[in-house]
Structure 1
Amino acid sequence: MKYSIQEAARITGLTASTLRYYESEGLLPNIKRAENRHRYYDESNLEWIAVINCLKNTNMPIEQIKEFVVLNSQGDGTLYKRLELILKHRENVQKKIDELNKYMEHINYKVDYFTMACELETEKELKKERYPNHFYIEEDE
């Protein structure tokens, strides 16, 4: 099936200018043109766009994405290099996930804390319970 740049943009959730940028940067190989010189995209192009988005949205630098695209265009002789590149990226993504999970634990703790504080309609008792050795100034009511 053939898709215009507008259709490809709609399908991928990107803008037409982003697709043009990907092509100009060499990230999106094999974009064909119709007789009127308009770009058209096929299923393999859409698959490449999904790969590029995945790598980009997981913070792979554009230069590494370009390297991956170039290696892919060179065929089976680069399989190990591509695997190495993707394994390193996976390691980086996993580190980021682990970091985010630690932040999520803290956020969940705060959600629990404020949920209890809202149920009690005060933080005073929670603070005393959690930090019994701290001095608190009682507020006049």
Structure 2
Amino acid sequence: MKIKEAAEMFSLPIDTLRYYERIEIIPPVKRNESGYREYQLQDLNWIFLVTNLRKAGISIESLIEFSRLAQLKDKQNVEQAQKDILNEQLDELNEKIAELTQTRELLEYKINSFDDHITQFKLGKVTPDNVEKLWEFNKKSEE
């Protein structure tokens, strides 16, 4: 598969694929006799993995290390090091998901109670002394 097809397959700019190869996030792609890249199944798997790990927030540096480990000839302890990188990213992603879930719950609460809050405000029932403490919302939702 040519670079244009691979780029289209993953909705990436061609320059991004070249960049990933240049900084060794993806292993070197075989080239044909004319020097053009010929992406194989393994290359496409790497692109897919890297693209999704980037979406999950993994750093370029971590991706470089992950890829470097995969290309080592001496595979002793490599698998665990790679797995550690993936586990660290999963932990970070789970933290982000928890934060986003709390934010979504607050937004849903504000949307669902918006009309009532406006009515209470217009009726003068909401004052600076009895306004709700939004920072306590997440504490309530955790209980």
Partner of 1:17: 15
Instruction: Give, in angstroms, the shift of residue 123 of structure 1.
Output: 2.1
Measure, in 2, the Cα distance between the counterparts of 1:12 and 1:63.
Answer: 21
Which of 35, 39, 42 aligns to 2:40? It is 42
4+ residue stretches of structure 1 with deviation over 2 A?
125-128, 130-135
Shift of residue 85 of structure 1?
1.3
SS of structure 1 residue aligned to 2:106: helix
**C-alpha deviation, 1:127, in angstroms:** 7.2
CA 1:27 to 1:112, structure 2 compared with 1: closer, same or farther past 3 Å? same
Partner residue, 1:61: 59
**Identity within the alignment, %:** 28
Superposed CA offset, 1:72-106 (max 9, x none): 11264201111111111111111111111110111
Q: Distance in 2 between matches of 1:61 and 1:134?
A: 45
Aligned residue identity for 2:82 = R
Using a 3 Å threshold, how does the CA distance of structure 1 residues 134 and 88 change in structure 2: closer, same or farther? closer
1:93 paired residue number? 93
- The TM-score, its normalising length taken from structure 2, stands at 0.79
Where do 5+ consecutive residues of structure 2 fail to align?
132-143
Separation of aligned partners in 1, 2:28 and 2:60: 18
CA distance in 1, matches of 2:90, 2:122: 41
Post-superposition CA distance 1:16-71 (Å, at most 9, x none): 01100101111110301111111111111111011111111111110110000011
**What is the 5 A alignment of 1:1-141?**
3-74=1-72, 76-77=75-76, 78-114=78-114, 117=115, 123-125=118-120, 131=126, 134=130
Which amino acid in structure 2 is aligned with residue 4 of structure 1?
K
State the structure with more CA Rg: 1
Q: CA RMSD in A?
A: 2.5
